[in-house]
Amino acid sequence: RKEVEQDPGPFNVPEGATVAFNCTYSNSASQSFFWYRQDCRKEPKLLMSVYSSGNEDGRFTAQLNRASQYISLLIRDSKLSDSATYLCVVNRGGSYIPTFGRGTSLIVHP
Amino acid sequence: DAGVIQSPRHEVTEMGQEVTLRCKPISGHNSLFWYRQTMMRGLELLIYFNNNVPIDDSGMPEDRFSAKMPNASFSTLKIQPSEPRDSAVYFCASSLEVGSGRNEQFFGPGTRLTVL
């Protein structure tokens, strides 16, 4: 099993739709979790950290399920500008060395 | 803040040549990471420094790759000799302090390397 796994997509959704991505991780000792966004031919940028209690930032909600070892990202009311690749990041158990997932591609169409 | 600065932005070289990539982290950040991104393998961590000291270089592909961080504001990644399979985008990232519990990373714009 890979350390961090994501469905590569693409997820093709209309504007205004709600879309959710999951990311599974293999090391139960992992402590820090993040979602990054990467636009085509650009660098990854932090979208949001994922806290144990779940957290929300505008249209974006991130959740952590330690028992099942996955994190999720929910995007409500999708905008055309949300089109990007979303990367899941999990820090290796026992350290803070990050492991990136391969990313999930989202395409929002009019 | 200027963010993480990388140079060059693009590099085209011939097989066998030496390539040096440069990175200036965000001032005050104590941790620096070098990544390589390809379509086939995604984003791979090559090496990570904390307070200028290499902590984990297990991602460095082979002896042809080397990285240094002579001071807190500068790091290099060198490939010698370069091969076509080294073609990729190389990112440098810095974070405030690994171990602080948050350690969000800030990425530079990347160097797009093509080895012919």
Report residues of chain A scoring pLDDT below 50.
Answer: none
For residue B35, list chain A residues with Cβ-Cβ distance below 8 A: 100
List, for residues A73-99, the tens digit of each pLDDT value: 999 999 999 999 999 999 876 667 888
User: For position B98, what pLDDT does the model report?
Assistant: 63
Give the other-Cβ count within 10 Å of B69's Cβ: 20
- Select from A32, A45, A99 the Cβ nearest to the Cβ of B101: A32
Report residues of chain B scoring pLDDT below 50.
Answer: none
Output the DSSP codes for B31-68: EEEEEEEETTTEEEEEEEEETTEEEE-TT--STTEEEE
User: For position B102, what pLDDT does the model report?
Assistant: 59
For residue B48, list chain A residues with Cβ-Cβ distance below 8 A: 97
User: For position B99, what pLDDT does the model report?
Assistant: 59
List, for residues B85-100, the tens digit of each pLDDT value: 999 999 999 998 765 5
User: For position A72, what pLDDT does the model report?
Assistant: 96
For residue B110, list chain A residues with Cβ-Cβ distance below 8 A: 43
Please judge whether B107 and A43 are an interchain contact, meaning their C-beta atoms are less than 8 angstroms apart.
yes
User: For position A94, what pLDDT does the model report?
Assistant: 64
Which residues contact residue B81 at a Cβ distance below 8 angstroms, ignoring those fewer than 6 apart?
B15, B16, B17, B18, B64
